Amino acid sequence: MGTNIAKLKSGKGAPPAADTTPDVTATDTRDAKEALRPLQVRIPQSTFEEFSERAGREFGFSHRAKKQLFLKI
Protein backbone atom coordinates (compact mmCIF):
# COMPACT_ATOMS: atom_id res chain seq x y z
CA MET A 1 0.00 0.00 0.00
CA GLY A 2 1.51 3.32 -1.07
CA THR A 3 1.34 6.54 0.86
CA ASN A 4 -0.93 9.28 -0.50
CA ILE A 5 1.34 12.35 -0.69
CA ALA A 6 -1.18 14.59 -2.48
CA LYS A 7 -2.07 16.31 0.80
CA LEU A 8 1.58 17.09 1.48
CA LYS A 9 1.87 19.07 -1.75
CA SER A 10 -0.90 21.55 -0.89
CA GLY A 11 -0.03 25.22 -0.42
CA LYS A 12 -1.07 25.27 3.23
CA GLY A 13 1.79 26.34 5.45
CA ALA A 14 4.02 27.41 2.60
CA PRO A 15 5.92 30.69 3.00
CA PRO A 16 4.72 33.69 0.98
CA ALA A 17 6.19 34.23 -2.43
CA ALA A 18 9.27 36.46 -2.46
CA ASP A 19 7.68 39.07 -4.73
CA THR A 20 4.76 39.65 -2.31
CA THR A 21 6.91 40.04 0.80
CA PRO A 22 7.50 43.72 1.69
CA ASP A 23 11.08 44.97 1.66
CA VAL A 24 11.60 46.35 5.17
CA THR A 25 14.98 47.86 4.34
CA ALA A 26 13.47 49.99 1.57
CA THR A 27 10.93 51.54 3.98
CA ASP A 28 13.63 52.61 6.46
CA THR A 29 13.58 56.42 6.37
CA ARG A 30 16.40 57.03 8.84
CA ASP A 31 19.48 58.98 7.84
CA ALA A 32 22.26 56.39 7.79
CA LYS A 33 24.95 58.98 8.54
CA GLU A 34 23.54 59.87 11.94
CA ALA A 35 24.76 57.91 14.96
CA LEU A 36 22.08 55.92 16.79
CA ARG A 37 21.54 55.80 20.55
CA PRO A 38 19.33 53.34 22.48
CA LEU A 39 16.32 54.68 24.36
CA GLN A 40 14.53 52.89 27.17
CA VAL A 41 11.52 54.24 29.02
CA ARG A 42 8.99 52.87 31.49
CA ILE A 43 5.33 53.56 30.79
CA PRO A 44 2.02 52.31 32.22
CA GLN A 45 0.78 48.97 30.90
CA SER A 46 -2.36 50.56 29.42
CA THR A 47 -0.29 53.10 27.45
CA PHE A 48 1.92 50.31 26.10
CA GLU A 49 -1.10 48.29 25.00
CA GLU A 50 -2.68 51.31 23.26
CA PHE A 51 0.60 52.09 21.50
CA SER A 52 0.97 48.46 20.40
CA GLU A 53 -2.61 48.41 19.07
CA ARG A 54 -2.13 51.64 17.12
CA ALA A 55 1.19 50.41 15.68
CA GLY A 56 -0.46 47.19 14.58
CA ARG A 57 -3.35 49.01 12.90
CA GLU A 58 -1.08 51.49 11.08
CA PHE A 59 1.85 49.27 10.11
CA GLY A 60 0.52 45.75 10.39
CA PHE A 61 1.19 43.40 13.25
CA SER A 62 4.83 42.81 12.40
CA HIS A 63 8.15 42.86 14.18
CA ARG A 64 8.95 46.51 13.36
CA ALA A 65 5.49 48.07 13.77
CA LYS A 66 6.19 49.78 17.11
CA LYS A 67 9.54 51.09 15.92
CA GLN A 68 7.97 52.50 12.75
CA LEU A 69 5.23 54.22 14.74
CA PHE A 70 7.76 55.70 17.17
CA LEU A 71 9.86 57.04 14.28
CA LYS A 72 6.72 58.48 12.66
CA ILE A 73 5.88 60.40 15.84
pLDDT digit string, tens, across residues 38-66? 889 899 999 999 999 999 999 988 888 99
Residue 44's pLDDT is 94
Nearest to 28 by CA among 73, 72, 62, 58: 72
The pTM assigned to this predicted structure is 0.48
For residue range 8-19, list pLDDT tens digits in order.
666 667 766 667
In order of 22, 29, 49, 67, 68, the CA distances from 33 in angstroms are 24, 12, 33, 19, 19
Most trustworthy range by pLDDT among 25-29, 34-38, 48-52: 48-52
Nearest to 39 by CA among 6, 10, 69, 67: 67
